Structure 1
Amino acid sequence: MARKSLVSVVADDLLDQIIRGSLAIDAGLPSEAEIGDTHEVSRMTVREAMKTLQAMGVVRVVSGTGSFVNPVARWTSLDAVLRVAAMGTSDLDVAVQLVEVRRMFETGAAALAASRCTEQDLQSLATQLDLMSDAHLRGDVDSFVRADLAFHDVILHASGNVILGVLFEPLTRVMAERRAETSSVIEIQTHAIVQHQGVLDALRAGDPESSRKAMDSHMDQTLADLRHYVLHSRAN
């Protein structure tokens, strides 16, 4: 295996341990020798893996002392931060921040889509909402999640802003991974259906401000549900 691949394997494994909480924030990492023995790689490979994590802001190296895990707020890699958000383990604030970022993107997308979406877009939104309702009644979480994500994807593309789509794509991947947990709660599904109907009604009216407010209301409900049904239960 090429050295570059080995470096990636070691760096990814260490990052996974940090995200899972096996290596806590501000905790010291094992020595180069220990990491090398664990992964059966040379110290040079370990050193390069540590440089990768340093460049991502995940770890800091203190001369003469060792390497330590940085708080998530100091990470500079979007992929690494989104992996924390997807895991939803060590830093509950990241889950809340994900909704905050979604609010910035999605309220703007809804406002743009109000004046740009076609009849076909509106029909697609209605279809996805029907699929959500049907999946809710059948207790099919996977189908509910797919329809939920597809509903938001239609709005994103209906906004007509290709840059918005590119910027939002990494968040879409994380949302897909997190939705299985949140959408398994029946009350969250019920709230989501009501909020999505409100967004669709506003878009049908073609009113950008009403559409923005409807999506903002949806994000408020999402955040409230996240705190009440998911984060509160984890904290206990």
Structure 2
Amino acid sequence: MPQRPAVPRLSDIVANDLEKRILEGSLKPGDRLGSERDLALELGVSRPSLRAAIQKLVDKVLTTRHGGGTHVTDRLEAHFVDPWQQMLSGHPALQRDLLEFRQMLESQAASLAAERATEADLARLDAAYAELETMYADGDLDSCIGIDAAFHQVIAEAAHNALIGHLSASLMKVLHSDVARNLEHLHAQPPRWDCLQAQHRAIWLAIRERKPEAAAQAARQHIEFVRKSMAENAQEDERRGSALRRLGEPGA
């Protein structure tokens, strides 16, 4: 007699649903799950089934803290970010390769977002771009890196590809300090700061207007601009250090 297919347990179904939310970015590293009561009601399951599902995911994508609830871990990102940050600090030339990868990733993300973004995605994109516009108008450099990263992450998530979403978040963490220095450098040069604003606007409009090729091209041009700017920053730092060393300045 042929065997009947095994009926999945309710806890497995719930665990799969929670994993899906983490993969798609609905739940992000550091996010705390709702209370057991509320989450069980939302998912339409009993609290014992929910507890069993959470236990399956502990040490995989969730972590529990005594008295602090259940949180999404950064395990998916940490295994990528930590070693690459260490490598980058010891091998600065690696930055070129990371930016080249970022260019491929973000151009593809922008193209897919122009094709796949839902109305909810576009609403998030509009909100992220509005924050960018406010930043440019106010010249608020302190919040610049976070707002810039958030804009690009919204695009990555609008591509509806789990790997693109998670790799994008990880890559921005690896390059965080370099991007922060570059933004500070550009902020001190109004014409180039205006170019950066125009590039973000071009990406936003191309996705909004559902133009995949234009979105990909705008993203490629943006990262190329960032790459050249970072290279110029490195040259300027080297010249400045060389000049100070000739003057015998301590710490140069």
Tell me the TM-score normalised to structure 1 length: 0.59
* Aligned-residue offset at 1:160: 0.5
Residue 220 of structure 1: which of 212, 224, 229 is its match?
224
| SS of residue matched to 1:92 | coil
* Aligned-residue offset at 1:144: 1.6
Structure 2: state its 5+ residue gaps. Answer: 1-79, 240-252
Percentage identity across aligned positions?
27
Q: Equivalent residue for 2:149?
A: 149
4+ runs deviating over 6 angstroms = none
Q: Is the 8 A contact 1:125 1:154 kept in 2?
A: yes
Q: Is the 8 A contact 1:121 1:158 kept in 2?
A: yes
Q: Equivalent residue for 1:170?
A: 170
Q: Could you tell me which amino acid in structure 2 is paired with residue 123 of structure 1?
A: A
Q: Which of 159-168 and 146-155 deviates more?
A: 159-168
Q: Equivalent residue for 2:85?
A: 82
* Aligned-residue offset at 1:199: 0.4
RMSD: 2.1
Q: Could you tell me which amino acid in structure 1 is paired with residue 86 of structure 2?
A: R
Q: Could you tell me which amino acid in structure 1 is paired with residue 235 of structure 2?
A: H
* Aligned-residue offset at 1:170: 2.3
May I ask how many residue pairs the two structures share in their alignment? 156
Q: Is the 8 A contact 1:99 1:223 kept in 2?
A: yes
Q: Equivalent residue for 1:201?
A: 205
Q: Is the 8 A contact 2:110 2:216 kept in 1?
A: yes
Structure showing greater radius of gyration is 2
CA offsets, 1:9-48, max 9 Å, x none? xxxxxxxxxxxxxxxxxxxxxxxxxxxxxxxxxxxxxxxx
Structure 1: state its 5+ residue gaps. Answer: 1-76
* Aligned-residue offset at 1:146: 1.3
Correspondence list, 1:13-162, <5 A: 79-85=82-88, 87=89, 91-162=91-162
Alpha carbons of 1:123 and 1:175: their partners in 2 closer, same or farther (altered >3 Å)?
farther
Q: Could you tell me which amino acid in structure 2 is paired with residue 97 of structure 1?
A: D
Q: Equivalent residue for 2:5?
A: none
* Aligned-residue offset at 1:99: 1.0
